[in-house]
Amino acid sequence: MLPKFRLRHRDVVCQQAVELVTDYLEGALSWADRRRFERHLAGCPHCTEYLAQMRKTIELTGSVRPDDLSPQVQDEFIAIYRQWRADPDAGRPAS
């Protein structure tokens, strides 16, 4: 006979598991849900692959670098900086 908790708590199916992935990775699942999720993974190679793909997606997203500044834009910022140094309160309403 199955232990009681397995009867009380419905097991997670794949379609639910994929919706729990982010909460799982963020550590936002309750202890019980975390256990249900991990129990599902242990028996489901597809969802295990899915979780690995989500982790890889996050890793790849982290490797996206924003474009570097063009020399012109960089020069504009140097001008902004020098203007501010010359007159730190320029354009500020008098208090």
Partner 1 sequence: MRGGHKLSPVEQDTDAELLGRLRAGDEQAFVVLVRRHHAAMVQLASSFVPSVAVAEEVAQDTWVAVLRGISAFEGRSSLRTWLLRILVNRARTAGQRERRTVAVGDGEPAVDAARFDETGHWQYPPERWIEEADDRLSAAKMADRIRSAIEDLPARQREVVTLRDVEGLSSEEVCSVLEISEGNQRVLLHRGRSRLRQVIETEFGRP
Which of 3, 7, 8, 15 is the binder for partner 1 (CB under 8 A)? 15
Tokens 């994929």 identify what position?
Answer: 18
Check residue 87 for interaction with partner 1 (CB under 8 A): no
CB 38 within 8 A of CB 27: no
Tokens (6 digits) for 57 = 């997606």
Residue 4 or 92: which CB sits closer to partner 1? 92
Residue 61: phi and psi, rounded to 5, are: -60, -35
Residue 38 or 76: which CB sits closer to partner 1? 76
Query: Rule CB under 8 A: which of 49-68 touch partner 1?
Result: 49-50, 52-54, 56-58, 60-64, 66-68
How long is the chain?
95
